[in-house]
Chains A and B, each alone.
Chain A
């Protein structure tokens, strides 16, 4: 894994009264253990990867507590795992990145939510929304509504987050509904502290197993005819029970204020942004004392009509601060008030943006608009609006002053084994013309950015081949689908490969076999190589493909650009029909370097031979056209001012971070670029043979008119 959590694991052991310090998502992990959870699982993805990563590093603690950990192959498998809580009174929690993970899990979630649960079942979702998100911008809220799963959205500070987890289990058990907790990106990574409790062992767990399976109970199957009953149970029993629990346990909070003819209803996760904006407008202080009353929804679904009516009654207007589209909460509040004949005006979308993250700026503008519209007594609403306008105008002016600044999107790491594959695709396209490229989720999607700018569509994780199914038949040239090994095991092997075989599809699939789900932090996957602790790989991509019936299959070392071009050309032009698969084989360089650097350091210290390789550019030979960079984009291949007094264009330069992957040489060769590149190796702790040969060569070269530097 990318990050070691040895330090954090220690804080999972904290007992009653001790103070836990750390990230929000790790606080969730601790809260799960404090809640007597019997099983946990999930699929990695920002922003919740650390939750699983720390658990993987905490096997001994989990063992002591009898907690079963499952690193699932996708979110559907994680959601289905919660099925254990349908029949058995054991608590379980799973986690994934949302919206995408919830989409994948949706079928299992529906079938879980319909029969309902005995043991508390929690889904911790990392709401990948707003700045820093890597997925489509949609809300997970719709799933809570349609499957009748309460959705908690705690205030983004550690005690609130921990409380949401603990109360979430109670809510789930009381209402028999699985419960979702959403944490936005910054909430997952917010640091803070809370007073810990000792970990609790579940009544039943791997250390105290049930003696007998649950008896057959048709009512716990999501199968007709009980599905009709279950639908009724959801609205007649579970939702009311959930609302009662939320009220009784005071999950939602009201912060009173003196301007009580107006009010603000806010999603818990947005509370801090709201309070800071109020503070800047002089309407709140740093401790959260507010002049405008705030109703903070730590449970955003279901709403509690009694609470909503109680808060809104007697107010002229309320502002609903609800991030994202559609405005589910605002609509519900309108319905609740209308049904109760309460005339309070509901302001929300319009004053605040319909779509997009509620940043500090959006919040300031929204509040200013609300105040200007409602003119609360004793508030200089127009002066506030003017001040906010000026602030925004100054920002716009600064942006104009800076001018155009190209974005800096993520990129393949130095030495990444996926970069050469795209160099090869680009060069192949120079020969045979442009090709349709169906892209997928994973590090390889960075090829959609410059300098490759390759890819026609991204349809989701593991979906690239399926997304090309109807492209191929409509195009004269075969489409190329790119999939990572992560996407392959997540579902691509079935949705893509099996489906293509079944339908006699004719296309090209490149599987990036780098050994990890690299984009999310190098977690292991079923075909991870020998370095995985606890045993060898359990699955092999090549053998799996052969077993499925793939005939045209080549495994190519991903750094061999020339071979890759040849293989691609053949795959694109061969008369043979059917799916053609190229496995681009090369270990994730980040993972590899972590291992190699440690190994090399140990070998050097032990006085053993180490060869270090890196590339270089002769700056007197480079003329500054940068073709090499347009075919690579490597962070270690950059430009520097030309040392030539006659040249003004910067020349290419390989910086110290080069790991000597070999791509520069391969590309210069395959593309017929220029002879500026060289590969240099230094042998440390050289053997006597190395040294003798080196001395002899240098002696001869000096005699031939060359000098080779100090001996």
Chain B
């Protein structure tokens, strides 16, 4: 009898510590309630510690009572092309199972969470190392027989439950298994204390699945700045810029007015206009001016103690932190900041005539990398708050500081290089503009980025502009060098890349 009856195979891909084991137990218990023989296995090992792991379940969709005492031989591991249902609590893990051959268009239904738990290389990248979520969703959709991709994390948070309960609800809601919702709920209800929350999660998942529509990755939420009436003239001026750059330029202008003052925002618009003209001549359709305007606003609002103090003492900030902590009205909240300025940072807010000799002395004595002032500032205390306010109040003096002057010089050099390059070959101009992304952060990070940026200017940009590097390869050389600078924090790849580029320059000179 039942010659065609086969067990339903379920593969759960999860991260250790997420409750995949509990989900597995629920599924097996729910099957048992229907009298279906079911078997699960897992490979917890050390993968339980946030590593990728899987659970495998087989369920016979026929009650044991109807099997005449026979026991099916169940598999202990998934077979390629032999999985009916994949449940993935994380999107990249769903893709991993596709690569392993466990998702096939003829059989496999996939339920995957849209939520990403970033892999280590995605998190440690020096710029943006993230996988493309849209592509991961597309992979799932293309390889699965049918798929449902939902933001289970958001659903769980909303329901105040664990994601595994929501996942169970989704499985129940799709009706993919011949198990009624009551059987799942009964399995959850055995769970004691957390049962109530889990039931909430289950029902949230159930409802979401019944809608039956996958969700697309959400575009990131950006906080655009609001306009101010005091900047009306500037806003009008920005409105004359090409359409492609306008939103960026307006954002940059508002940012710099807040960062420094309206005059500084004027300076910004003037500079953007210069590049807009270059862009137009080079026929770059606004691509150059858009990217340059974006980087320019960031470079002009360089990170210094004044800016940090301004953000940290922003009245809205504490309210945001209270929400993050879930603080109730009247619960005292305490916030401690970690500052550790070095001689560099302190000199950056001094006028050049003071900063220069101090820096020279510090360099001679080798203090630069050793002398730091570690500060724990209690922003919630009056004294701590006043310290931040005092630092933020230095804003009007910024224009006269050593750092400000130095930054303006660097910015001008960069803008001139961008413009000169545009006249030679537009792709090179775009690449030079992008180099600004290397200069960011504070302390050691800033020093490393600046050193890389200068090295690329020295070894690639200048030779290219001086026509000592063939123009045909110049843009690629800058792009390669920039990628190399972001490959490792030790600068090993960049050094090797620059050596290669140097060879081309020497050859060129010899010809």
Name A672-695 residues within 8 Å CB distance of B: 672-675, 677-684, 686, 690-691, 693-694
Is A338 an interface residue when CB atoms closer than 8 A count as contact?
A: no
The one of B125, B335, B337 in contact with A675, judged by C-beta atoms closer than 8 angstroms, is B337
B128 touches A650 (CB 8 A): yes
The one of B45, B56, B117, B124 in contact with A134, judged by C-beta atoms closer than 8 angstroms, is B45
B326 touches A364 (CB 8 A): no
B70 touches A46 (CB 8 A): no
| CB within 8 Å for A694 and B332 given contacts A132-B47, A398-B143, A635-B50 | yes
B104 touches A669 (CB 8 A): no
Q: In the bound complex, how far is the Cα of B233 from the Cα of A188, in angstroms? A: 74
Is B441 an interface residue when CB atoms closer than 8 A count as contact?
A: yes
B49 touches A446 (CB 8 A): yes
Name B20-70 residues within 8 Å CB distance of A: 28, 32, 38-53, 56, 70
The interface size of chain B toward A, counting residues with CB under 8 Å, comes to 127
When each residue 411-423 of chain A gets 1 if its CB lies under 8 Å from chain B and 0 otherwise, what string results? 1110000000000
Residues of A within 8 A of B364 (CB): none
B75 touches A402 (CB 8 A): no
The one of B46, B99, B339 in contact with A46, judged by C-beta atoms closer than 8 angstroms, is B46
The one of B95, B337, B339 in contact with A405, judged by C-beta atoms closer than 8 angstroms, is B95
B49 touches A186 (CB 8 A): no
Residues of A within 8 A of B445 (CB): 623, 625, 627, 673-674
B374 touches A669 (CB 8 A): yes
Residues of B within 8 A of A616 (CB): 321, 324
Q: In the bound complex, how far is the Cα of B82 from the Cα of A598, in angstroms? A: 43
Q: In the bound complex, how far is the Cα of B17 from the Cα of A449, in angstroms? A: 18
Q: Please give me the residue from chain B that is nearest to A47 by CB atom.
A: B45
The one of A133, A411, A643, A708 in contact with B223, judged by C-beta atoms closer than 8 angstroms, is A643
The one of A398, A669, A683 in contact with B101, judged by C-beta atoms closer than 8 angstroms, is A398
| CB within 8 Å for A280 and B95 given contacts A680-B321, A704-B386 | no
Residues of B within 8 A of A647 (CB): 298
| CB within 8 Å for A675 and B442 given contacts A132-B45, A272-B76, A708-B315 | yes
| CB within 8 Å for A618 and B311 given contacts A408-B15, A410-B50, A451-B124 | yes
Q: In the bound complex, how far is the Cα of B333 from the Cα of A411, in angstroms? A: 31
The one of A128, A361, A624, A638 in contact with B127, judged by C-beta atoms closer than 8 angstroms, is A624
Q: Report the minimal beta-carbon distance from B225 to chain A, rounded to whole angstroms.
A: 8
| CB within 8 Å for A186 and B43 given contacts A443-B49, A646-B298, A673-B444 | yes
Name A440-458 residues within 8 Å CB distance of B: 443, 446, 449-451
Q: Report the minimal beta-carbon distance from A691 to chain B, rounded to whole angstroms.
A: 6
Residues of B within 8 A of A700 (CB): 382
Name A599-650 residues within 8 Å CB distance of B: 612, 614, 616, 618, 620-621, 623-627, 629-630, 633, 635, 637-639, 641-650
Is A223 an interface residue when CB atoms closer than 8 A count as contact?
A: no
Q: Report the minimal beta-carbon distance from A685 to chain B, rounded to whole angstroms.
A: 9
B294 touches A646 (CB 8 A): yes
Residues of B within 8 A of A391 (CB): 80-81, 101
A623 touches B340 (CB 8 A): no
When each residue 82-122 of chain B gets 1 if its CB lies under 8 Å from chain A and 0 otherwise, what string results? 10000000001101101111011000000000000111111
Name A370-403 residues within 8 Å CB distance of B: 391-392, 394-395, 398-399, 401-402
Binds A, one of B3-11, B279-287, B395-403, B501-509: B3-11
A672 touches B342 (CB 8 A): yes
Q: Report the minimal beta-carbon distance from A643 to chain B, rounded to whole angstroms.
A: 4
Residues of A within 8 A of B442 (CB): 623, 673-675
The one of A276, A645, A684 in contact with B248, judged by C-beta atoms closer than 8 angstroms, is A645
Is B443 an interface residue when CB atoms closer than 8 A count as contact?
A: yes
A621 touches B123 (CB 8 A): no
| CB within 8 Å for A286 and B315 given contacts A131-B43, A394-B104 | no
Q: Report the minimal beta-carbon distance from B273 to chain A, rounded to whole angstroms.
A: 18
B52 touches A156 (CB 8 A): no
Q: Report the minimal beta-carbon distance from A426 to chain B, rounded to whole angstroms.
A: 11
Residues of B within 8 A of A706 (CB): 313, 315, 318, 385, 389
Q: In the bound complex, how far is the Cα of B118 from the Cα of A361, in angstroms? A: 29
Q: Report the minimal beta-carbon distance from B169 to chain A, rounded to whole angstroms.
A: 21
Is A548 an interface residue when CB atoms closer than 8 A count as contact?
A: no
Q: Please give me the residue from chain B that is nearest to A687 by CB atom.
A: B332
B315 touches A410 (CB 8 A): no
Is A288 an interface residue when CB atoms closer than 8 A count as contact?
A: yes
Q: Please give me the residue from chain A that is nearest to B5 by CB atom.
A: A286
Name B183-219 residues within 8 Å CB distance of A: none
Q: In the bound complex, how far is the Cα of B73 from the Cα of A272, in angstroms? A: 6
A643 touches B380 (CB 8 A): no
Name B432-449 residues within 8 Å CB distance of A: 437, 440-445, 449
Q: Report the minimal beta-carbon distance from A52 to chain B, rounded to whole angstroms.
A: 15
Residues of A within 8 A of B74 (CB): 157, 272
Residues of B within 8 A of A708 (CB): 315, 318-319, 380
Q: Please give me the residue from chain A that is nearest to B325 by CB atom.
A: A682
Is B255 an interface residue when CB atoms closer than 8 A count as contact?
A: yes
Q: Please give me the residue from chain A that is nearest to B70 by CB atom.
A: A287
B119 touches A406 (CB 8 A): yes
A643 touches B221 (CB 8 A): yes
Is B126 an interface residue when CB atoms closer than 8 A count as contact?
A: yes
A625 touches B441 (CB 8 A): yes
Q: Report the minimal beta-carbon distance from A380 to chain B, rounded to whole angstroms.
A: 19
A673 touches B321 (CB 8 A): no
Is A346 an interface residue when CB atoms closer than 8 A count as contact?
A: no
Q: Please give me the residue from chain A that is nearest to B323 by CB atom.
A: A709
Residues of B within 8 A of A519 (CB): 46, 49
Is B160 an interface residue when CB atoms closer than 8 A count as contact?
A: no
Q: Report the minimal beta-carbon distance from B186 to chain A, rounded to whole angstroms.
A: 15
Residues of A within 8 A of B79 (CB): 276-277, 280, 360-361, 364
B49 touches A408 (CB 8 A): no
B335 touches A679 (CB 8 A): yes
Q: Please give me the residue from chain B that is nearest to A3 by CB atom.
A: B21
Is A17 an interface residue when CB atoms closer than 8 A count as contact?
A: no
B222 touches A697 (CB 8 A): no
Q: Report the minimal beta-carbon distance from B209 to chain A, rounded to whole angstroms.
A: 25
Is B366 an interface residue when CB atoms closer than 8 A count as contact?
A: no
B75 touches A273 (CB 8 A): yes
Residues of A within 8 A of B440 (CB): 623-625
Name B299-316 residues within 8 Å CB distance of A: 303, 308, 311-313, 315-316
Is A359 an interface residue when CB atoms closer than 8 A count as contact?
A: yes
When each residue 89-129 of chain A gets 1 if its CB lies under 8 Å from chain B and 0 otherwise, what string results? 00000000000000000000000000000000000000010
A189 touches B44 (CB 8 A): yes
Q: In the bound complex, how far is the Cα of B82 from the Cα of A285, in angstroms? A: 15
Residues of B within 8 A of A192 (CB): 39
Residues of B within 8 A of A704 (CB): 382, 385-386, 389
Is B227 an interface residue when CB atoms closer than 8 A count as contact?
A: no
| CB within 8 Å for A626 and B331 given contacts A646-B248, A669-B340 | no
Q: In the bound complex, how far is the Cα of B1 from the Cα of A286, in angstroms? A: 11
Q: In the bound complex, how far is the Cα of B380 from the Cα of A637, in angstroms? A: 24
Residues of A within 8 A of B143 (CB): 398, 401
Q: In the bound complex, how far is the Cα of B92 from the Cα of A677, in angstroms? A: 28
Is A224 an interface residue when CB atoms closer than 8 A count as contact?
A: no
Residues of A within 8 A of B126 (CB): 625-626
Q: Report the minimal beta-carbon distance from B502 to chain A, rounded to whole angstroms.
A: 27
Q: In the bound complex, how far is the Cα of B51 from the Cα of A412, in angstroms? A: 10
The one of B77, B319, B443 in contact with A674, judged by C-beta atoms closer than 8 angstroms, is B443
19 residue pairs of the A-B complex, CB under 8 angstroms, read A46-B45, A185-B43, A185-B45, A191-B38, A191-B39, A359-B77, A360-B79, A394-B104, A395-B81, A401-B139, A406-B120, A408-B96, A411-B49, A450-B124, A621-B308, A678-B312, A678-B321, A682-B332, A705-B315
Contacts A189-B40, A276-B73, A645-B224 known; 13 new A-B pairs at CB < 8 A: A133-B45, A408-B93, A408-B96, A519-B49, A612-B325, A638-B117, A643-B222, A646-B294, A648-B128, A669-B338, A674-B443, A682-B334, A690-B332
Give the 10 A-B residue pairs with the shortest CB-CB distance, closest first: A132-B43, A395-B101, A641-B220, A709-B319, A360-B79, A410-B51, A694-B332, A707-B315, A623-B440, A408-B52
